[in-house]
Amino acid sequence: WGGWWYWDPVENASFMPWLAGTALLHSSIVVEKRDALKTWTILLAIITFSLSLMGTFLVRSGILTSVHAFAVDPTRGVFILVLLALATGGSLLLYSVRAPTLKAGGVFTPISREGSLVLNNLLLSTATATVFIGTLYPLFLDVLNLGKVSVGAPFFNSTFVPLMIPMVAAMGVGPFLSWKRGDLPGVLGRLWVALVVTALAVLYAVWAVGGPVMALVGVAMGAWAFVSALAEFAERIRLFRAPAGESWSRAVNLPRSAWGMTIAHAFLGIGIMGMTATSSWNAELIKGMKPGDTATVAGYTLHFENVRPGFGENYRAEVGTFRVTKDGKVVTTLEPERRSYPVSRQTTSETAIHTTAFADLYVALGDPDSQGLWVVRIYHHPLLPWIWIGALGLVFGGLVSLSDRRFRIGAPERRRKGGPALQPAE
């Protein structure tokens, strides 16, 4: 088990433009609806594209040490660096010349939908800067011969996570606020169901598994994001406040951007709960076992039945058989393998995985020792599938939003000709 996120430099290189791009998508909503934040949105677009090029440079140049880096020809990094300098430098030059000519848009109070989107932008931009500094700081020190340091998960977890907590909290409130000036107490009153469900989710986590305070905060944020997204959708279609036919008609006629926002925000909440659970309540056991032995992890009992030879097209294998039971009932049979490839003279472990909607159970077979004991690694990760479900739902929501008719090339032309006005995304 290598984890679902390691804060590896190459992972961070792809994560930074994703964060900046998310800020850009939300900032563009303010430009579209209120004609505000135009210069900031253009700057975000430049930064997002520049970070994409920089990620390519970091991966291809060979200047980073990472298991994910692949630099067959390091001289390619020079070409990418020149492209990065021209694209970023040229864009910033044009920006410095033209940005002052853009007129300011509509004004708004801090407690408004625009204000919540500005807060979203500030937190995402700060998070991007944090990842940028943590990723490149060791590289700068090395180039300047100031020593070698390693910036890893403890730094990123202690700086990135606190920025995301207020962002997710605001994510549930922002769509309920009015443009220009919002009524925060009134919005919280309309969100009482989401607040109650969030509190119940935290109480259930305390009762079922307990855990550190930050784990409970993560559960609260995930539940809040999921339920508040559904509550906002219900508010749009006047669910339970209008006849069913009218609510259905409203849902069908909602713009795709509204559907996409609901899907993305809800599945982000699912992903957050998965990240929290698998990081806080995972179980791991490394044990020397021989056929006939048993091991218990997270309520599962694994019975080591035998090891038999196996063969493939280009490898030989030793296949272990583990019967998995829970509460006396057989759940599944797992068969991890230890493969040997004669041509390349390599040995690999093929992990056996049992996946349910609420957890993943991994079993890996290691080498035997002189006493006939096999090193067996067993991992139980609760809600791990929710990470993948949340990520896929997030992507799907983004694609649904981008399929909105307003984002097609001909949309501005239709508006100039007096076409029908469409409902804004938020």
**Phi, psi of 115, rounded to the nearest 5 degrees:** -60, -40
**Which residues face 334 on adjacent strands?**
322
Structural tokens at position 77:
């990094």
What is the sign of the dihedral through the CA atoms of 210, 216, 220 and 222?
negative
DSSP line for 185-218: HHHHHHTHHHHHHHHHHHHHHHHHT---HHHHHH
- How many other CB atoms sit within 10 Å of the CB of residue 390? 25
Contacts of 321 (CB under 8 A, 6+ apart): 304, 305, 306, 307, 308, 333, 334, 335
**Which residues face 354 on adjacent strands?**
361
The answer to whether the beta carbons of residues 356 and 299 sit under 8 Å apart is: no
**Mean of per-residue pLDDT scores for the chain:** 88
Q: What is the pLDDT of residues 346-356, one digit of tens each?
A: 999 999 999 99
pLDDT interval class at 129 (50, 70, 90): very high
Question: Which pLDDT value is given to residue 422?
Answer: 46
The answer to whether the beta carbons of residues 396 and 271 sit under 8 Å apart is: no
Helix %, strand %, coil % of the chain (to 5):
55, 15, 25
Does residue 1 register a pLDDT over 70?
A: no
Cα separation, 304 vs 408, in Å, equals 59
DSSP line for 166-184: HHHHHHHHGGGSPSSS--H
Cα separation, 235 vs 414, in Å, equals 29
Does residue 399 register a pLDDT over 80?
A: yes
Mean pLDDT value across residues 145-174 = 91
For the chain, give the percent of residues with pLDDT over 70. Answer: 92
Mean pLDDT value across residues 80-88 = 90
Cα separation, 268 vs 395, in Å, equals 10
Cα separation, 383 vs 282, in Å, equals 9
Longest dimension (CA), the chain: 83
pLDDT interval class at 417 (50, 70, 90): low
Mean pLDDT value across residues 102-125 = 89
Cα separation, 101 vs 98, in Å, equals 6
pLDDT interval class at 416 (50, 70, 90): low
Question: Which pLDDT value is given to residue 68?
Answer: 60
User: HSE on the CB side for 404, CA within 13 Å?
Assistant: 21
Cα separation, 174 vs 180, in Å, equals 12
**Which residues face 360 on adjacent strands?**
355, 381
pLDDT interval class at 182 (50, 70, 90): confident
Amino acid letter, 348: T
Q: What is the pLDDT of residues 40-72, one digit of tens each?
A: 999 999 999 999 999 888 888 777 666 565 655
Mean pLDDT value across residues 389-396 = 96
Question: Which pLDDT value is given to residue 424?
Answer: 46
pLDDT interval class at 4 (50, 70, 90): confident
Question: Which pLDDT value is given to residue 204?
Answer: 92
Q: What is the pLDDT of residues 214-230, one digit of tens each?
A: 999 999 999 999 999 99
Mean pLDDT value across residues 283-301 = 93
Least Cα distance to 300 among 278, 280, 322 occurs for: 322
The reported pTM is 0.87
Does residue 410 register a pLDDT over 60?
A: no
What three-state secondary structure class fits 426?
A: coil
**Which residues face 376 on adjacent strands?**
287, 365
- CA 422 → CA 258, 261, 415, distances in Å? 11, 16, 10
Cα separation, 376 vs 291, in Å, equals 11
Question: Which pLDDT value is given to residue 78?
Answer: 82
Does residue 175 register a pLDDT over 50?
A: yes
The answer to whether the beta carbons of residues 95 and 161 sit under 8 Å apart is: no
Does residue 425 register a pLDDT over 50?
A: no
- How many other CB atoms sit within 10 Å of the CB of residue 109? 11
**Phi, psi of 283, rounded to the nearest 5 degrees:** -130, 145
- CA 327 → CA 43, 205, 297, 301, 382, distances in Å? 58, 22, 12, 9, 18
